[in-house]
Structure 1
Amino acid sequence: MTDLATVTQSYFQPHITGMAIPSRRPRRDGALDLSRNEMIHPALDPLVKAVLAELAPATVVEYPIYPELIGELADVVGCRPAELEIFPGSDDAIGVIVDAFATRTGSMVLQDPTYPTYRYHAQLRDIEVLSWLPRPGTLLFAAEDARWAMKRTPSTVVVVTDPHGMLGSVLDEEATQELAATAHRYGHLLVVDQCYEAFRGNAGAWRGWDNVLRIGSFSKGAGLAGMRLGYVTGAPPLVDYLRRWRRAAAVSGVTLAVALALCRDHRGELDAIRDDIIDGREWLAGQVVDLEKRLAPLPSNTNFLTVDAGGAEDARRLKEHLAASGVLVQSHAGFASLLRFTAAPISLLHRVVASLRDAPA
C-alpha cells in the first residue's frame, strides 16, 4: 500500500502546497462594512425578499435547462445567446479562461496590481505573469505601455480591468480601440474584466472584436454576491470553445431565476438603487475634499471610492481609526497609501464622514 508521504511526493506540486487558500474575512457584527464592494442599500433587502417570494418551486426541484436560461439572460446582458456563457461567479470565470486559453500560451499580461484571483490562477497552473505597471509616480495604466508589450510578446492572454477594480479608473474610447486593434494584429486574446460596468454605463466600448472576451458579474451591480453568478461574452467561436471548459451545471436554476427576475422584472428599482449609490460615491468624494485633511479621492466609475491618504503609514493609521469607530475599509497591497470605500446611499455615509473628521492629523 502506498503511504501518504509517497503520494504527497509523487503527486503534490510544492509551489501549490505553499500557496494560501483564497478565503474571505469573517464579518464583524455592528460594523458598517465598506471593505467588500457588495451592493449596500436599504431598499435591496425588501427587493430581494420580494423576488424570492415570487420564485416557482420548479426552480428548486428541477434541473436547469441552460440553453433556455442563457437565451433569457442574454436579453438582460445585451448580447446574443451564442455570445454568452455563465459561471458561478466571476472568480470561476477567470479560472476557466485561464484553463482554456492561458495554459496554451503559457503566459499572461496583467495590470499590476489588479484583482488577485488572476495571479492566483496563473500561479496555480505555473503560468508566467508579465506585469503591466502604472506609470512611475502616477496611478495611471497607459494603454501605450500594454501595446508596446503586445508588439514584442508572442501570442498571450492580456487582461484589462475596465473600470479598474482597485482604482476605479477607466480607459477612454480611443485607448480601448487601440488596445483591441493591437491585440488583434499581433495575435493576442484580450480579456476585459467589466464587473463594475453597471456604474460606468459604457459596456459597448469593447464590443465588435472577435479576439475580446468580456467578464461580467451580478455581484456588484445587481446585489447578488451571495448567489454567485458571473458571465463571459464574446465572439461565438470563443464562447463556444469556452463552454467545453465550464463545470457541468455549476450555476443553479435558483440563481438564474433570481437574476432574471431582479434584472428584468425589477429593473427600475435596481436602476434607482444604483443611482443612489453613485450619488453617495460622489457626495463622499466631495466631503473628503472639504475635510481639508490632505486626503485625495480618486475619480471613480465603480461602486467604490478610493482615497489617497498620502503615505503608507497614514493609510494604516486611518484604516485603524475607522475600524475603531465601526467603519471597515479595504487597503491596497499594490498601493500602500490608498484606501477603498464601498459606496452607499448618502444616509449611510454620514457615519463615515464623522469618523474621518475625527481622525488624527
Structure 2
Amino acid sequence: MTTTEKDTHAAEVRAPEIRPRNVMGKLPRYAAGKPPAIIEGLQSYKLSSNENPFPPLPAVLEAISNRQDINRYPDPLSTALRTELAAFLDVPAEDIVTGAGSLGALNQLLSTFAGQNEHGIPDEVIYPWRSFEAYPISVGLSGADGVQVPLRADGTHDLEAMAAAITDRTRVILLCTPNNPTGPALTSVQVEDFLVQVPADVLVVIDEAYEDFVRDPEAVNGIEMYREHPNVVVLRTFSKGAGLAGLRVGYSVSHPPVTQYLRVAAVPFAVSQLAETAAVASLQHHGELVERIQGLVEERTRVVAGLKALGWRIPEAQGNFVWLDLGENTPEFAALAEQQALAARAFGTEGVRVTIGEQEANTRFLALCATYTKGPGVS
C-alpha cells in the first residue's frame, strides 16, 4: 500500500465513538501547582504545591542509592515499612495498609466502602469544602455522591452542619486536619463531640497529611481517635514532612473489620522498593527530621507574624502553608506573585494558598504583601 493509499484508508476509517462513564463530565480536573516563572535577576521559587522545599535527609538518600533490585516487584504488603510504622505509632502492623501517598490510601478506602448499593443508588460521602481538591474527583470516581459542606468563615470545618448532613446513604465522612488549603486544625474535643453523632457503621476518615507541622496542643491526634473508635480511619503520608512527595508513599490506619476488606482493594505494588526504603529510613532518623520540620514551622511563624503586622487577616495556619482569602482579587495577586518569580496556588476567585518555602522565598512573599493594598483585613 502506497503512502497515498494509506492516507486515503486512514481518512475512510472512522474512529469509534468512545464514551467515558457519565460521571466524567461532572468531575473537576485536578490542578497541580504551577512551576514559577523565570524572571531575569530573580531566583524562582515554587510555593504552589505544599512541597517540602528541602530534599530528604542524607541518610535517606544514601539508603535509596543502594537499592539495585528495581527489576523486581516490591513487597505488595510493604512489610518492612508496616513493621517500622507499627513500632513508631504503637499500633498493630495488621492495622496499617500502605498506598501511593495518602491520596492513594484514600482512593483504596473509597473504592472499598463507597459506591452504589445493590439497587444502583449512590452512597454518600460527606466532606468539607473548600478542602483538598482531589476529594470530589476521588468520590465521583468511586461512584458515590459527594456531599460538600461549606467551611465556616474562619476556614474551619462546620462540624454541626456535617453532622446534620448525615443520611441513611452516608457511608464515609472525610475530615481534613489541618484543612488544605485554609490551614486550621480540628481539636480533640471537636472531633470527639462529632463522633458521638456519627452512626457506628459510617467510616470517619481523619486525613492528617500535614500532621507533622501541627503545634496546637489542643489539636486532634488521629491515632488516638482510632484507638477509641472502631469506625475511625487515619490517613498519613511521607510526602510533606519527610520530603518524599515524588516517591508516593502513604498509609491508612484502621481496625481489622476495615482492613480485612481494604487489603482486597489495595493497589498491588503501589509502594515501590525505593519509596519503602526511604520511608523506613525517615522513621529511623525521625529525630533529624523533626529538627528540619521545626525549621519550617518557625518560618511559618515568621510569615504569619509578618502578615498580621501588615494588617492581613488569615486563618490559623497549622500546615506548611498560609491561606489568603482574596476573593475576586485572587487572580491579580497570583499574577503579581508570578512577576516576582513566586508560584502561588490560586483557587479561582476564592483565595491563594502559599506554601512555606525557603527563607528568601518567604521574605519576598512578605515584601509583596507589604505593597498589596487589597489583602483581607487591610484597610
Aligned-residue offset at 1:272: 0.8
The correspondence for 1:314, drawn from 329, 332, 342, is: 329
The correspondence for 1:52, drawn from 13, 38, 61, is: 61
The match for 2:7 is none
Distance in 1 of aligned mates of 2:139 and 2:366: 39
Distance in 2 of aligned mates of 1:17 and 1:39: 34
Aligned-residue offset at 1:216: 0.9
String of CA shifts for 1:252-275, please: whole Å, max 9, x gaps.
1111001111221x2222111110
> What SS is found at the alignment partner of 1:183?
coil
Task: State the one-letter code of the partner of 1:239.
Answer: T
Over 3 Å counting, the alpha-carbon distance change for 1:95 and 1:203 in structure 2 is: closer
Distance in 1 of aligned mates of 2:279 and 2:196: 33
CA contact (8 A) 2:51 2:239 kept: yes
Aligned-residue offset at 1:20: 5.8
The correspondence for 1:324, drawn from 339, 347, 366, is: 339
Over 3 Å counting, the alpha-carbon distance change for 1:289 and 1:18 in structure 2 is: closer
The match for 1:196 is 210
Give the alignment of 1:17-28 within 5 angstroms.
19=27, 22=30, 24=32, 27-28=35-36
Mean Cα deviation higher: 104-113 or 219-228: 104-113
The correspondence for 1:103, drawn from 89, 111, 115, is: 115
Aligned-residue offset at 1:74: 2.6
CA contact (8 A) 2:346 2:353 kept: yes
CA contact (8 A) 1:59 1:257 kept: no
The match for 1:241 is 261
The correspondence for 1:179, drawn from 194, 197, 212, is: 194
Q: Indicate yes or no: 2:94 matched with 1:89.
A: no
CA contact (8 A) 1:94 1:118 kept: no
Aligned-residue offset at 1:27: 2.5
Aligned-residue offset at 1:104: 4.6
Distance in 2 of aligned mates of 1:301 and 1:5: 50
Aligned-residue offset at 1:345: 5.2
Q: Indicate yes or no: 2:248 matched with 1:228.
A: yes
> What SS is found at the alignment partner of 1:79?
coil
Q: Indicate yes or no: 2:126 matched with 1:118.
A: no
The correspondence for 1:356, drawn from 363, 369, 375, is: 369
Mean Cα deviation higher: 193-202 or 16-25: 16-25
TM-score, normalised via structure 1 length: 0.86
> What SS is found at the alignment partner of 2:316?
coil
Over 3 Å counting, the alpha-carbon distance change for 1:331 and 1:24 in structure 2 is: closer
Q: Indicate yes or no: 2:270 matched with 1:254.
A: no
The match for 1:75 is 87
Aligned-residue offset at 1:240: 2.1
CA contact (8 A) 1:94 1:117 kept: no
String of CA shifts for 1:291-349, please: whole Å, max 9, x gaps.
24xx212211111111234xx2333322211110111211234xx35321111354542
Q: Which structure would you say has the larger Rg? A: 2
Give the alignment of 1:273-352 within 5 angstroms.
273-292=292-311, 295-309=312-326, 312-333=327-348, 336-344=349-357, 346-352=359-365
Distance in 1 of aligned mates of 2:371 and 2:78: 55
Mean Cα deviation higher: 346-355 or 318-327: 346-355
Q: Indicate yes or no: 2:53 matched with 1:40.
A: yes
CA contact (8 A) 1:322 1:356 kept: no
CA contact (8 A) 1:166 1:332 kept: no
Over 3 Å counting, the alpha-carbon distance change for 1:94 and 1:85 in structure 2 is: same
> What SS is found at the alignment partner of 2:205?
strand
Distance in 1 of aligned mates of 2:112 and 2:340: 46
Give the alignment of 1:159-178 within 5 angstroms.
159-178=174-193
Distance in 1 of aligned mates of 2:331 and 2:255: 44
Identity %, equivalent residues: 21
Task: State the one-letter code of the partner of 2:135.
Answer: Y
Q: Give the number of the structure whose residues are more often helix, by fraction.
A: 1
Q: Which runs of 5+ in 1 are unaligned?
A: none
TM-score, normalised via structure 2 length: 0.82
Distance in 2 of aligned mates of 1:19 and 1:128: 11
Give the alignment of 1:140-159 within 5 angstroms.
140-150=156-166, 152-159=167-174
| Count of residue pairs the alignment pairs up | 343
Distance in 1 of aligned mates of 2:288 and 2:14: 59
Over 3 Å counting, the alpha-carbon distance change for 1:161 and 1:57 in structure 2 is: closer
String of CA shifts for 1:21-50, please: whole Å, max 9, x gaps.
546355335421111000124xx36x34x4
CA contact (8 A) 1:279 1:346 kept: no
CA contact (8 A) 2:51 2:243 kept: yes
Distance in 2 of aligned mates of 1:153 and 1:198: 35
Aligned-residue offset at 1:54: 3.2
C-alpha RMSD of matched pairs (Å): 2.5
